A and B are shown apart, each in its own frame.
Chain A
Amino acid sequence: MVKFQGKVVLVTGASRGIGAAIARAFAAEGAFVIINYLQNELAAARTVAACQELGGDAWAIKGDVMSEGAVTEMIQQVLVEVGKIDVLVNNAFKPYEFDPDKRKLAWQLTWQDFQAQMDGALRSTHGLCQAVLPQMKKRSQGSIINIVSNLVARPIIPYHDYTTAKSAVIGYSRNLAAELGPFGIRVNCVAPGLVYPTESSRHTKEEVKEMIIAQTPLRKIASPEDVAGPVLFLASEWSGFMTGQTLYVDGGFIMK
């Protein structure tokens, strides 16, 4: 028996990369996966096809997670079509250039830099959580998983604005977990290290990768599929008594 038969899972930013890997993993366990994407319709369609091939079902829905209106509309549409959302994975994030050499130094950052990342990470997460809450509360169950980064625990390269926003998501998730526990809804985070290959890590220098690998007990860099496992775990009943947690998926780079 597959683990997510009859469950509906919404993954934001799921046309490619980590999001697509998560979507495929859910589909392989029988889930009905809603693939949210912003632009790449073709990639989204490929993920849908892959999900269906894996034995689950999928449906792509375009929508900008930064827009409150678009999010509300998207959730409404999902509910009309499939009746419920069991799991929400907030994976979409604002494009960010991870370049250790050309990153902004602390004294070069403006508040606008921070604001942009806060909007991309926290505001979109908040919007989606708000939108799925009424029906999760109604069904007295639900699992929300927010994808953050292991940089929050150890900024091996200080991407100030990006990492601060992801830290905010962890704080947000913990508070949400405390408030929603009494409704049977769980909120957790998954914090991957550097994941390769993805759109964001395509330009990561070999030297940086080597540096990270050298400090990673499992001696490799995470693949998108590595991230999916803990996400599925947090979505399943196996983690039924866990909420407000952050799981680090980085080969032991962070231990806490």
Chain B
Amino acid sequence: MKERAGYLPGISEDEVAWQTVTFTRNEEVLEVAVPVLAQEQMQQLAEQIKNNSRQVLKTLAIGEIVEILDKAVAVFLDRHSPYRRKAEQLLPIVTGYDPEVIRHGLTSFLKTFRKPQLLRFLAEDLGNISLLDDFQPRAKGGFAKAFGPDLIVHVWAGNVPALPLWSLLAGMLVKSGNIGKVASAEPLFAGWFANVLAEVEPRLAGCLAIVWWKGGDEEQERSLLGQGDVVVGYGSNTSLASLRSRIPVTTRFLPYGHKMSFGLVTKDSLDARKAWQTAHAAALDVIRYDQQGCYSPHFFYVQRGGAVSPGEFAKYLAHEMECFARRYPRRALSLEEMAAQAAWRQQEELTLFSTPTKEILGDDARAWTVVYEEGAQITPSCLNRTVKVLAVDQWEEILPQLIPYRPLLQTVGVASAPRELWQIAELLGRAGVTRITSLGKMTSPEAGWHHDGRFNLLDLINMVDIESAAEEYAERLAPYVD
């Protein structure tokens, strides 16, 4: 099979050089042609999108844009649409994830971008969504309007399918032109979405582009990054640092680094009836995208004192992982990834001698690893369905462990009774955690979430104020002034 990645308005296919990235899953082979633009083409594209952003996007009302995005999202939610079918067919090959995981993941993800959710997203950040259309009165006097930039450049990373949609849609909502650079690990979805958008509303066809270049291609990066008003970057701290070094100081840079998330299970959720359900939810968070997401758990803190001990919880979790290994098999690992897994597991096995309370569950033949530990320091998982269960007595114990890693923390999936939820939230907030959700929902952030604790839209826009002084001054100059 062959598929073209990218979306390049105003440039015909034969004007572009194409490079092939090959993906295989089981017996299926997919060759994805990714565009390699010449520098002038990239410049031209950026100019064109900036123009269209000014002349088209900025003249649309936010209500219209929401309608358009809703229609485009509906295309991908419709399981019979050719795009959705293509996504369901090809994304498993590209990412290696189980088709069912992708199917469920896409639906739950796309649902957060329907009209009501988009409106909530806007309301969350802006309060009054008309701020994007007109100057709105401010309580303290004067008026203000939110202006989106002419061009946002997105540098996406990772293989969690469709993830670029978060920042792309945020860019569209603030009436900005967008150029997104897809990652080689998942180069397709963003391009499909751009195509659908152009079909749904041809006026938007020239307002966004999806491009590719080989990671670390400094020339390409520098030339495009210099064009953007805002750059949104995803990736490891190393790649973000190198990206930042190529961005002019006047350009706003919004880096989204790799994160560490974890689960937290209180003793209330560990009675004879609920322990299994808790383990089931925890396992789901682990197996979805094989822990590749920033919101995926690396470990679970489990409280002692319930009917089911943390050690037993680990064993429930282990069997859930085994069941999911059959229902939604793990992505095929590269030899390098396998070697990393083996090394991680052995490190645990060899320390069994010095830490006799540690338990390593399952055996070498399993497509998962669960390790149970007492009094251990937190360590990151080597991913691909490898988790630790750490026994805890009091939640206060975990704070000192977390604080050194404050900049890395993101999501915590919690299973607790209401009263404790608030106490835990306070504690986690202090440690630097930015999202608290339920166990089982870690990989599905709600619409309007504060990604890494930030404002998705507010960080993109500029507020333009008309101060009351200007208003008063203008009054004096009115032709009808008495």
Contacts and interface: CB of A to CB of B under 8 A. Distances in A.
A–B in direct contact per CB < 8 Å? yes
A139 B372 CA distance: 12
A94 to B, nearest CB: 33
Interface string B368-410: 0000000000000000000000000000000000000000000
Contacts of A139: 361-363
Interface in A126-180: 137-141
Given A182-B316, A182-B319, A183-B316, A138 B276 contact: no
A184 interface: yes
Contacts of B363: 139
Interface centre among B315, B316, B361 (most CB of A within 10 A): B315
Contacts of A182: 276, 279, 316, 319-320
Nearest to B317: A140
Contacts of B362: 139-140
Contacts of A141: 322
A96 B318 CA distance: 42
B312 interface: yes
Contacts of A137: 312, 315
A138 B359 contact: yes
Contacts of B315: 137-138, 140, 183
A240 to B, nearest CB: 10
Nearest to A140: B318
Contacts of B322: 140-141, 184
B319 to A, nearest CB: 4
B284 to A, nearest CB: 15
Nearest to A185: B319
Nearest to A180: B319
Nearest to B316: A182
A182 B276 CA distance: 7
A183 B320 CA distance: 8
Interface in B317-347: 318-320, 322
Nearest to A136: B315
Contacts of B279: 182
Nearest to A84: B363
Contact of A140 (B276, B312, B319): B319
A182 B315 CA distance: 9
Interface in B284-314: 312
Contacts of B359: 138
A78 to B, nearest CB: 17
B431 to A, nearest CB: 31
B361 A138 contact: yes
A183 B276 CA distance: 10
Nearest to B366: A140
Nearest to A179: B272
Contacts of A138: 315, 359, 361
Contacts of A184: 318-319, 322
B355 to A, nearest CB: 15
Contacts of B320: 182
Contacts of B312: 137
Interface of B: 276, 279, 312, 315-316, 318-320, 322, 359, 361-363, 366
11 contacts: A137-B312, A137-B315, A139-B362, A140-B318, A140-B322, A140-B362, A141-B322, A182-B320, A183-B315, A183-B316, A184-B322
Q: Which 4 A-B pairs have the closest CB atoms?
A: A184-B319, A140-B318, A137-B315, A140-B362
